Homo-oligomer: A and B are copies of this chain.
Amino acid sequence: MSARDRILDTLEAILISEGERAATLDAVAARAEVSKGGLLYHFPNREALIGGLVGRARNYAAAYRDELRSSPDGPTLAYIRTSAETNTDFDRTLIALGRLGGDQHPEAASALRAAQQDWVDLVREEIGDEATARAIVLMGDGLYYNAMFQDAPPRDVDGLLRVVEVLRASVSRG
């Protein structure tokens, strides 16, 4: 694995488990086993380091959108199923980005918004109702919210799938 990727993995790990405050250049460099100078060769400053994480999120989001689009059981069920998966690469990147909310890192917020919009669009196209699509994506958002705190409860995918099935049936009845 390249030093660049190792650095971003480490940044994610620290953001997830210790928070924004702990994610200093020193801490990231040490845990990624490069010197601070080495880190600053790949990312010339702190902002560029965060930018690297945002870029990674955008890449994952694009791949995930395609995955949802081509899923055999449809985007909606695939979205719920995958939202309940913990510790995937995309999951970790999303949670790490979640630690950077606020006005300070607008690119992080906009990357997340764009991804969410993709999901709402896919679900709405499939089940045909805007409010229901938003509610379903909101449940996925809720899972991420929960994953942001320690001792996140296990994500109960079966219960959620049943609930989504009810919503979908209700829309198709009109």
Closest to A153 in B: B113
Given contacts A109-B151, A141-B141, A142-B142, contact A19 B167 (CB under 8 A): no
Question: What string of 1s and 0s marks CB contacts (under 8 Å) between A15-41 and chain B?
Answer: 111111110000000000000000000
Interface size of A by CB at 8 A reads 52
Given contacts A131-B162, A139-B135, contact A150 B99 (CB under 8 A): no
On chain B, the residues within 8 Å of A87 by CB distance are: none
On chain B, the residues within 8 Å of A16 by CB distance are: 102
Given contacts A113-B149, A141-B145, contact A163 B17 (CB under 8 A): no
Q: In the bound complex, do residue A149 and residue B112 qualify as a contact, i.e. CB atoms below 8 Å apart?
A: yes
Mostly helix, strand, loop or mixed at chain A's interface? helix
For the complex formed, measure the closest distance between the CB of A85 and the CB atoms of chain B, giving whole angstroms.
16
A78 proximal to B (CB < 8 A): no
Q: In the bound complex, do residue B102 and residue A17 qualify as a contact, i.e. CB atoms below 8 Å apart?
A: yes
Residues facing B in A106-128 (CB within 8 A) are 106, 108-110, 112-113, 116
Closest to A46 in B: B21
For the complex formed, measure the closest distance between the CB of A142 and the CB atoms of chain B, giving whole angstroms.
3
A138 proximal to B (CB < 8 A): yes
On chain B, the residues within 8 Å of A148 by CB distance are: 98, 101-102, 145
A98: contacting residue among B22, B145, B162, CB under 8 A: B145
Given contacts A138-B143, A151-B109, contact A102 B99 (CB under 8 A): yes
Given contacts A20-B19, A139-B138, A141-B141, contact A151 B102 (CB under 8 A): no
A1 proximal to B (CB < 8 A): no
The 5 closest A-B pairs by CB, nearest first: A131-B159, A141-B142, A138-B142, A145-B145, A142-B142
